[in-house]
Structure 1
Amino acid sequence: MKKTAALLLAAALTGGSLSAQEESSYSISLDFPFVSDYVFRGIKLASDSIQPSIEFASGDFYAGMWTSQPVTGSIANEFDFYIGYGAALSDTWSLDFGATYYYYPETPSGDESFEPYVGLSGDLGGGLSASGYFYYDTELETSTMQGGLGYSAELSDSSTFDLAMDLGFVVASGGTDYTYYGLSGTFNYTLNDVASSYFGLVYADSDLAGEDSHFYVITGISMGF
């Protein structure tokens, strides 16, 4: 999944997007973040991790790979491959649909799962944005509904401060249903025409029994061509 995906928190923490050259019919985006905790839908999966990603986009089509590589502990790494298409519904709202393939090569059985998704996102004006997504994991038979709000404030010609919050519900067939939520604040600074840096703080929590709340740092560099 675009955990730049999953989705509003991750998107808010990428430090913003960088445009391709005007004469190009496609763009390539690279992201190199470090997180002090890897938390996915309210559940901590690893501690200190490097999470590079690459995405190709042409018109409304996009495809990419995201990976989490823990640098502490003996946690298995993760690779996510995704593909999707965004269709404009108006000048400010768009429909997004696609699918993500999750692969964990270091687990004994090489665990994997497949998750189609569909979502709606839009610009509310005044720096505010909103999104709503539905995901269904075919392997785990789990449905996830997530909504989010974002706010971006321009601090200078080269810097912005972004706030994001999300709320999600997980319905697991034969498992435990739960609610999760998160809040983040990110400072983004443009380094040059193709690169920007970012630093953010994230709070994530859920009502899942035995799962603590999490407060962690994300920092990195993103590039676009």
Structure 2
Amino acid sequence: MKKLVLSILVSLPVCLACAPSASAEEFSVTTTVAFESRYVFRGIQFAETSFQPGIDLSYGNFYGGAWLNLPVGDDDFIATPGGEELDLFAGYSASLDGVTSFDIGVTYYTFPDLMSGFFDIFEEDGDGLGANTLEIFGGISFDTVLSPSFYIYRDFMFDTTTFEGGVSHSYPISENTSFDFGGAVGYVIDDDAGADYLYGAASADVSYAFTDNASASVGARYGGSDIAGGSLIDDSIAGTTKSSGFWFGLSLSSSF
């Protein structure tokens, strides 16, 4: 559940859908180490305070990588008791006309605390939670005001389809500093349990570039959902007793 179209999804993954798009046939590597006071994905909290290291590889229009969630404490949550997670992802992203880009790919989610085997796709652990799962995705984005994007995700084990739209913008403060913000709204259709729900996310970060290849950021996030019949604000974090959906995060990244 890596980064999404936004830094808030941290993920992502979030973001699983925020992948590099290169026009030249060159190989690049980007490493990131993040700290988040909560790990929230699509309106559901999976862990408390966590470290989130990751690596992104790209060659031309192809990309892939790995992302980890490593909880600092031992708090258990409904989604994934223990909170440890390893995601592997790969995809292809390219520009269609200089303004519109498309992105297709696949993400393999694994949960070391619960899985019986790394390659046990579709195998549940008895309670239907935490088994490895495979998700494909496709999306389009536009290089225009607020950089709008729209993605569709299909999870094969949990039989869910997710529709997510997002916007983001970076406002320069100085030569090396910028204010970055973004937001996303998504809807999850659960074909199995019928537990469809709406979620939202937002982020605001101050980023500083040490060099052309190294940067740091710190900021606030918000995530919410209408799970359990509430609103995006009232039922902000599903699977917990918390009434507030705000948390913070910071990250360091470098590329070569």
Q: Identity across aligned pairs (percent)?
A: 36
Q: CA deviation digits over 1:68-93, x for unaligned, max 9?
A: 00011251410000000012111121
Cα distance between partner residues in 1 of 2:115 and 2:20: 39
Alpha-carbon distance, 1:7 to partner: 3.1
User: What is the distance in 2 between the residues matched to 1:191 and 1:11?
Assistant: 21
Q: 1:216 aligned to 2:235?
A: no
Tell me the residue number matched to 2:199.
Answer: 180
Cα pair distance change 1:151/1:108, threshold 3 Å: closer
2:85 — aligned with what?
78
Distance in structure 2 (CA, Å) of the matches to 1:140 and 1:189: 39
What secondary structure is seen at the aligned counterpart in 1 of 2:9?
A: helix
Runs of 5+ in structure 2 lacking a partner? 76-81, 118-130, 229-234
User: Match of 1:99?
Assistant: 106
Q: Is the 2:20–2:58 contact (alpha carbons within 8 Å) kept by the matching residues of 1? A: no
Displacement of 1:193 in angstroms is: 3.0
Alignment partner, residue 7 of structure 1: 5
Change (3 A) 1:152 1:108: closer
Letter in 1 for 2:184: D
2:9 is matched by which residue type in structure 1? A
Contact 2:66 2:88 in 1 (8 A): yes
2:104–2:138 CA contact under 8 A, matched in 1:
yes
Can you list the C-alpha shifts for 1:20-72, whole angstroms capped at 9, x where unaligned?
9xx98111000100000000001111000000000110111000001100011
- Range with greater deviation from structure 2 (66-75 or 53-62): 66-75
Tell whether the 8 Å contact from 1:65 to 1:79 is kept in structure 2 after alignment. Answer: yes
Which position in structure 2 is the counterpart of 1:124?
144
In the alignment, which of 108, 116, 132 is matched to residue 112 of structure 1?
132
Displacement of 1:119 in angstroms is: 0.5
Query: How many residue pairs get matched?
Result: 218
What's the CA shift string for 1:116-162, capped at 9, x where partnerless?
A: 0000011114xx21110000000110100000011110111101101
- Residues 199, 180 of structure 1: alpha-carbon distance in 2 compared, 3 angstrom cutoff: same
What is the TM-score when the length of structure 2 is the normalising length?
0.79
Q: Choose the corresponding residue for 2:212, options 157, 173, 193.
A: 193
Match of 1:143 among 143, 147, 161: 161
Report what 1:47 is aligned to.
Answer: 48
Q: Matches of 1:24 and 1:174 in 2, distance apart?
A: 42
The equivalent residue for 1:205 is: 224
Higher relative contact order (CA 8 A, sep 6+): 1
Over 3 Å counting, the alpha-carbon distance change for 1:17 and 1:196 in structure 2 is: farther
